Amino acid sequence: MTLSTPRVRTGRITFFVALAVFAQESTWNLYDSQVPPLLREHLGSAALIGALMGMDNLLGIFVQPWMGNRSDGTRTAWGRRIPYLVVGMPVAALLFVAIPHAAASLPLLVLVMFGYALVANSFKPIAESLLPDFIAPERRSRANAAVKIASSITVIVAALISLFLVDDFPKLSFAIPAVLMAGSVAVLAWKVRDSRSPAYQAALEEDRAEPGEASPRVRMRDVLLDIVRDADRSRLLVIAAVFAFGSAWFASRSLITNYGMETLGLSRGDAGGLTLPSGLAFIVAAYPVALLAERFGRLRVILAGMAVFAAAMVLGTAVPTAAGVVAAMCVAAAGAAAFMVNTAVVLWNLAPSARVLGTYSGLYTVGWSGGGFAGPALVGGMVDVTGWRFMLLDVGVVTAVAVLLVARVAALRRHRTDSL
């Protein structure tokens, strides 16, 4: 599949997709940081609070690929993505604003949380699919880097809202990201017609080439069977690698506070701040690793990035001090950027048709969210055996599995000429 777009359009659509993702992730980051205290007012069990907060990841595993597939089969004068965004993003913004107003009642709060998580998960892969719809395969890494940078900045935005507004204006704090989301969808509705995208036009051409088809939609079941039955196995291995590296990444982030307290003797607050500088390291590295991928090949850069991530885990284990761990986490974040920026692009470029790009965006999320769901528990079980002293090394072992999977994909694609 070869899609070409003018350079000016590439820049414009990258900005619009980054804007949409920025608005979405602003709500998600504030949700993750400020909804647990609302639940804490009603629940004394940390496990139950954690289970309710994990509800969005569980929903995402099922909802996102299904909605991506639905949008792939949509045909309107507005395109196949924008209609869902114009409906979904305002509804999600309203539900997000309602969260603090529902906090007085636990059943009502959980109901609004569920509604927000369901709607927000529904359009997340759809917004991200605009990028491969408009942008040619050879330029997708740098465009996705810009989107990842926008997503990373939302962590800072959520932290600033929490720092300056939450204590005095708790309801207003939830309204600000919601306004950003509503504003971004207004811009998208005004400026973007994805019916003009090269991928949409290619999908229409495929529809016309199969006049006997009752519907342009490729069934989710058929997409999955095609991936599983493919003798090449590249797509299945990429999704498995996303799951494995997602497990390592989320484990390294979610368990680091306990690691700092148990191994380094830090307070809860100091241990929680061990990963803050690494967020900046990720932002700095994101665009350079995209350029390197376009120059030397995405699979090579992904493998190098994961090797850097694993080496950083070894470094953190060898130098068990606060400064050593902060340095290790910064190096690890730079290595992780190579994976996060380029792996979705590899999966998009492996898609056999422009008609399934949204579905493939959802399948990437299945691997990533699945890793986020399973990784902390898996590494936590390893810590039960090895002790907290070797937690970072345990993360490195899980990373090695992802390295082997991507190395196998690289071996399978070595003699092929198609661009990933």
Structure tokens at 263: 């191994």
pLDDT of residue 152: 82
pTM: 0.83
The whole-angstrom distance between residue 397's C-alpha and the CA centroid of its chain comes to 22
Q: pLDDT below 70 — which residues of the chain? A: 1-9, 46-47, 159, 163, 211-216, 268-269, 272, 415, 417-420
pLDDT digit string (tens) for 312-323? 999 999 998 999
Q: Which helix (H) or strand (E) holds 128?
A: helix 106-134
Helix (H) / strand (E) element for 358: namely: helix 357-386
pLDDT at 350: 93
Instruction: Count CB-CB contacts under 10 A for residue 385.
Output: 8
- Given this model, what pLDDT does residue 7 score? 43
pLDDT score recorded for residue 112: 96
Q: How far apart are CA 98 and CA 80, in angstroms?
A: 29
Rounded to 10 deg, the angle between the 55-72 and 220-229 helix axes is 100
Tokens in use for 360? 């493939």
Distance of CA 210 to the CA centre of its chain: 34
